[in-house]
Structure 1
Amino acid sequence: MGTVTLGVSIAVPEPYGSQLQELRAGFGDAAAHGIPTHVTLVPPTEVEADRLPAIRAHLVEVAAAFRSFRMRLGGTGTFRPVSPVVFVKIVDGAGGCNRLQSEVRDPDGPLSRDLAFPYHPHVTVAHGISEESMDLAFTTLAEYAAEWICEGFALYEQGSDGVWRKLREYPFGSGPSCVPAQAGSAADQAAGTAGAAGS
């Protein structure tokens, strides 16, 4: 049946999401327009497409038991020199992100995986570009601030064109329902949307 590349993230809502995406593109990050602005819960993970029903069911269960929490962004940070990344910091809500990602990556669940680095919730605004451009991103957004109430997360699929597309939204406290976001995606077609648990 083949494989799909999935990720699970908290979307940064509008108008902040588009603002940060355009700024990221302006810094010279060519991947910016293919990556919706987000806080990663599960990084890009290749899975067998027939695991989609179990993954969806797991995400529904996690979301149903979770509650909304406040997210506040403020200022910039960087993972350099370990990793060529500049990010906007999460100054309120990191605890909620940590709890959520640990439940999504439950060692006994279908999205269990090891991470290359310890989990550190953040919003990437520059990745893999010149040092000068990353310095510019770091200083330009040094006073950046935004806040919202996080009310759920979403499952994304990376297409063959490298673009990440939302498959499903999983609102907190929602019970067995979830919101389709990208009908007819490759992952949906491979797994069979009509019979997928939690679809």
Structure 2
Amino acid sequence: MSMKHVIIPVFVPHKGCPNDCIFCNQKKISGQISDMTTDRINEIIEEHLKTIDEGAFAEIAFYGGSFTAIEKGLQQGFLKEAYKYVTAGRVSEIRLSTRPDFIDEEILGMLGQYGVRTIELGVQSLDDDVLKASCRGHDASCVYRSCDLIKKMGFRLGIQTMTGLPGDTRERCIDTAKKVISLSPELVRIYPVLVIKGTGLEKLMK
């Protein structure tokens, strides 16, 4: 029987993100208004651990914002709080999601020291026109560089994409999928675009 895999999600909505992508309002999406604190991280992890069977493969996951764009001291504070559960043997690993343009060797070196093993990149598309229309603030070449570095430094690579962004077409979507496959990520998440209140996309749709 395979070991049960459980993710303990810790949402840091829009924390650190340097720009407003046309589709994004993380506080609306996550339902979380207040900022994350180390005390709250403890509470969330402890609440989840009460429901997890002993021996399960549990990961603490920082989602909902561009984690590596957060001020460095705050990143370290969050990671230290999570890492103590790894060193105590109560949690197996840490994962997080972030932007491709906030990945470099220094950042990855720090993440590795705190038990991070999986990095999910919010790629959204590998078409430069779609990225520009979505106000992502980086191009596809940035994604390739970040993916290569993540794998080179021994992390598991996850890629998140979105279908139906401004300027996207069936052909562009399929092309992005093929390019994602060529990057050989360990996991892929595919999200449909939803129009969220308070986003640039909502204004565009009116």
What TM-score comes out, normalization by structure 1 length? 0.25
Higher helix share: 2
Higher strand share: 1
What TM-score comes out, normalization by structure 2 length? 0.24
- Which one scores higher on RCO, CA 8 angstroms, separation ≥ 6? 1
